Structure 1
């Protein structure tokens, strides 16, 4: 999709969120005289609405707040020293008033819902659309409404729900049952599947396989296993999609648009179109590019500045997140190419100095413990596992560690560049294989589950290690599936939903102690996030619309 979004008309007509977070009385003034009914009666105005409806995906995918809500507080990631949302990472005093990530996502996803509702309600009146154009655009808006509502209901539970547009400040909120959300999600996705095109030349727009793939994910979430298997197979077999032969190629900036992508957020290579404004859309435009490249890197530029300085290939490290020891231990890197394709363990000299040449090893973080005598004999700095994690798995320091490199962007033009043109994968074909595998486990068909898993493990095998990578039906259970999803999808903004869907959040984090940082604080009520306090303060029906249970 083109990455320049038309926002002027939207700002003028004053489309607002479902529930305003401003508690003061507002006096609205519209000097243009334009209204939604006039702007959206023409194709040019309506196209701006549809483009804007897509733009809100950029508040979640490829953004720090979205990573914090989806990857942190799970069994596979914990906080580096630069984490700015530690409450989400550890559940320590997580409330609705102590992280603006919750406010940002709530406000903008409800703004997106209202925009979709507005479009669906007004599309019949667009005078210069053909009937086919109306159907396609409505299908896109229904797909997006389902997409946003899924994120809302899975994050916060049965909160405010509406399919009607609001034009002005609404000060009351309702509490709809979770089933109400899902009934609408299913209805909207079925409409989208029936009316979307199978392909698009405007990359990033919704298509039939995108809607079917997302529906497979929703089926799995709701325990509809047979439907999840059938829908996954439909996408796998019928739309010309295929796994890339080499897992590492998924992260190559020159190969982002490939046949494994079911749907992605298309960030422009022209960074001017990826506005860094942080205000609420439409005034905030598309709110910057992908910033995943900033989040997962250790501060390599603080190891030894005489020989290793910040450069473009190694990234600009914000040091937000580090892998749990359990995540690292899920990989057998001898057999599985995904470890070295996903993680960086070695940093090389990029500044010559006495005793060091460009390209020599400057820092090394092996997955195993190394004897002190061996470590001390090396001229480079070593951060073996015993120098990063204590025996209980709690990090002993949070600055130097094995780092996720999937999202690094060597095409950035300067070492200080915070923006990346990397597309954010929302769904790729590998997830459909894993959805089918999990559903097969759920209905006690381990043979079929192993088949789907082995397709991915064959692709992931190091040369000569295909046989070693194959798994047996007897190995198929939910914990294995979750481990495999971690190996395949780590960092791709799915993990919190995976644990919640499988009922494994408390077990994996606390009982199995796979994330000891979070294990100390997590409670069952954390399976829902707290509603932002600003939202609770703004509503006038406070006795009906209350905070989620467990949060004070």
Structure 2
């Protein structure tokens, strides 16, 4: 064994002595190509949030719309138990990753001042893109954590000199970045180099920033008025449209449609896709063990993580006669991909069911039916009284049948981060806050008319008297279900705690006021000078 060990050490010596030749030198960022690659690297940090497990857990779990299904992973983010603490992996990964992106932007901005060989317009645009990304990241951080470390120049060597800036200081930096970026970004609905930030994307983001700031401790009476023209500009000036059919907004293969204001790019190439867009797995019920069914790429890999609350199904999507969004948001039937005769599982109105390929195996009508009525159907009928943590209406917005096999986690669909319907709803909210009820109602109605079943457009319109704050919160739920907005919306409205207590039975017992902020990761506190005294933890954690 000793001889074999010595032989192995000798055989490895050549590898140990090899020179590393792939590292990028410090001066690379000072070149035109380095500038471009640097900003591309900063864009890649958007993938930390959109379409990821951490991003969806942070925004969908622990809200009024979604509670936990049977999946055991990360349930504490919905139930608000003390497992959600400063050692949380999602918190650490997001914090570190966003600051990596921020420092990359800082490096691009600092070094671009001395770059030669880049035309003035391109240089201004790249600098504007860096400011857009930096503002975006700080906006996430301030919403989730409150005051954080504010770094606006490149950190070149490790340092323990960090501190928590005020919320007002963070918002001032965000607003300055976006205000400066807007004039130099491409003034079109899609960049010539698709995926880059554009002027309307920055205007949409800044409009949301002002609306969020307007309900924060840094609020200014003019915040909602400042949001209004920015959001109106996105609607009026760039050729975006509400697609005629709500179902097409998230239709597979239609990610680059004319409602998309900004999207995060993913790919089918495993070498460049990072962890991929994972949102396709989290909202799906356990269809794959039911009679006549097996897992496939079309119906998805069902994690059973997020289950709609009764409030979502019975209140948010109560109107299923005029409003098409329940029908077009949830899966209401499955077709057999495993023919045969089976004993029934949840629908005991019949003993067995027999399916040929493509036959309906499960129908979810969305309302209860008598056993006698269900018995007439040649398939299982799943009514609301049968819903459990394993079987429930699946969300279909993020399904990704383009995956290479039925187990692949790393999806390749672009993630729609901003779209025009959201712009309309944000604009309506800004107008409502200013008392412009007629204008707000008109903008809400534009979204609602598009959501109507054909011929039901007039029935979907509301009057100014019907437009209340609660209506706005519910309309955002109907339109943006599963699009990584809900927790942030509830937090900025100041109703997170109340709504979870009212509508999320799993989260209700433990949620407290301090849960409106997330815990600072322990590794950040540990690497600060003075540790907890130098970088204090958020209260309650």
**Superposition TM-score, scaled by structure 2 size:** 0.88
Aligned-pair distance for 1:241? Answer: 1.0
How many Å separate the matches in 2 of 1:73 and 1:172? Answer: 34
Q: Relative to structure 1, is the Cα distance of residues 508 and 32 closer, same or farther in structure 2, using a 3 angstrom cutoff? A: closer
Per-residue CA shift, 1:213-234, capped at 9, x if unaligned? 1111111112211122211111
Q: Relative to structure 1, is the Cα distance of residues 463 and 34 closer, same or farther in structure 2, using a 3 angstrom cutoff? A: closer
SS of match in other structure, 1:404 = coil
Which residue is equivalent to 1:533? 522
State which of 183, 208, 229 in structure 2 corresponds to 1:194.
183
Per-residue CA shift, 1:230-250, capped at 9, x if unaligned? 111111001111111111111
State which of 155, 159, 164 in structure 2 corresponds to 1:170.
159
How many Å separate the matches in 1 of 2:24 and 2:303? Answer: 44
Which residue is equivalent to 2:135? 146
Which residue is equivalent to 2:199? 208
Q: Relative to structure 1, is the Cα distance of residues 540 and 361 closer, same or farther in structure 2, using a 3 angstrom cutoff? A: same
Q: Where in structure 1 are there 5+ consecutive unaligned residues?
A: 1-28, 275-286, 389-396
Q: Where in structure 2 are there 5+ consecutive unaligned residues?
A: 1-18, 215-222, 342-353
Q: Relative to structure 1, is the Cα distance of residues 32 and 439 closer, same or farther in structure 2, using a 3 angstrom cutoff? A: closer
**How many residues are matched?**
498
Q: Relative to structure 1, is the Cα distance of residues 378 and 158 closer, same or farther in structure 2, using a 3 angstrom cutoff? A: same
Aligned-pair distance for 1:184? Answer: 0.6
Which residue is equivalent to 1:347? 334
Which residue is equivalent to 1:440? 431
Counterpart contact for 1:366–1:402, Cα < 8 Å: no
Which residue is equivalent to 1:297? 284
How many Å separate the matches in 2 of 1:232 and 1:419? Answer: 33
SS of match in other structure, 1:264 = strand
CA RMSD of aligned residues (A): 1.9
Which residue is equivalent to 2:507? 518
Which residue is equivalent to 2:356? 357
How many Å separate the matches in 2 of 1:97 and 1:227? Answer: 36
Per-residue CA shift, 1:163-187, capped at 9, x if unaligned? 1211232224201000111111111
Q: Relative to structure 1, is the Cα distance of residues 33 and 289 closer, same or farther in structure 2, using a 3 angstrom cutoff? A: closer
State which of 80, 92, 115 in structure 2 corresponds to 1:126.
115
How many Å separate the matches in 2 of 1:154 and 1:519? Answer: 22
Which residue is equivalent to 2:539? 549
How many Å separate the matches in 2 of 1:106 and 1:172? Answer: 17
Which residue is equivalent to 1:39? 28
Counterpart contact for 1:124–1:134, Cα < 8 Å: no
How many Å separate the matches in 2 of 1:144 and 1:380? Answer: 50
Matches within 5 A, 1:129-528: 129-199=118-188, 200-223=191-214, 224-274=223-273, 287-304=274-291, 307-329=292-314, 330-331=316-317, 332-354=319-341, 355-375=354-374, 378-388=377-387, 397-510=388-501, 513-528=502-517
Counterpart contact for 1:303–1:381, Cα < 8 Å: no
**Superposition TM-score, scaled by structure 1 size:** 0.87
Which residue is equivalent to 1:3? none
Q: Relative to structure 1, is the Cα distance of residues 33 and 51 closer, same or farther in structure 2, using a 3 angstrom cutoff? A: closer
Q: Relative to structure 1, is the Cα distance of residues 83 and 201 closer, same or farther in structure 2, using a 3 angstrom cutoff? A: farther
Per-residue CA shift, 1:432-468, capped at 9, x if unaligned? 1001111122122322221111101111101121121
Aligned-pair distance for 1:70? Answer: 1.1
SS of match in other structure, 2:340 = coil
How many Å separate the matches in 2 of 1:245 and 1:256? Answer: 15
Aligned-pair distance for 1:209? Answer: 0.5
SS of match in other structure, 2:507 = helix
Q: Does 1:59 align with 2:48?
A: yes
Counterpart contact for 1:271–1:421, Cα < 8 Å: no
Counterpart contact for 2:243–2:259, Cα < 8 Å: yes
